[in-house]
A and B are shown apart, each in its own frame.
Chain A
Amino acid sequence: MSGHAELLQGTLDMLILKVAALRPIHGYALAQRIQQISKEALQIRQGSLYPALYRLERQGQLKSEWKTTDGGREAKFYSLTKAGRQQLNAETAGWKRLCDAISLVLETVE
Chain B
Amino acid sequence: MQWNSWLRRWRWERRMDAEFQFHLRSLIDDYVGQGFSHAEAELRARREFGPADLAKEECRDERPLAQFDHLLRDVRYACRSLRKNPGFAVAATLTLALGIGANTAIFSVLHGVVLTPLPYREPDQLVVVALYNRALRYPTDLSYPDFLDWQRDARAFGQVAAFKPQAFDLTSPGTPEHLDGNEVSSTFFSTLGVTLAHGRNFSPEEDRFGGMPGRDHQ
Residues of A within 8 A of B (CB): 26-29, 31, 45-51, 54-55, 57-58, 66, 71, 73-76
Contact = CB atoms under 8 A, between A and B. Distances in A.
B203 to A, nearest CB: 75
Contacts of A76: 15, 18-19, 22
A55 B64 CA distance: 10
Interface string B21-36: 0110111010000000
B20 interface: yes
Contact of B64 (A46, A58, A66): A58
A76 B54 CA distance: 20
Interface residues of B, number: 21
25 contacts: A27-B23, A28-B22, A28-B23, A28-B26, A28-B27, A29-B26, A31-B23, A46-B20, A46-B23, A46-B49, A47-B54, A47-B55, A50-B19, A50-B56, A51-B55, A51-B58, A51-B59, A54-B58, A54-B59, A57-B62, A58-B62, A75-B19, A75-B22, A76-B19, A76-B22
A95 to B, nearest CB: 24
The B interface, classified by DSSP as helix, strand, loop or mixed, is helix
A73 B54 contact: no
Contacts of B54: 47
Given A28-B23, A57-B62, A46 B55 contact: yes
Given A50-B19, A50-B20, A51-B55, 11 more contacts: A27-B23, A46-B49, A47-B50, A47-B54, A50-B55, A50-B59, A55-B62, A71-B29, A73-B22, A76-B19, A76-B22
A26 to B, nearest CB: 7
B59 A46 contact: no
B49 A54 contact: no
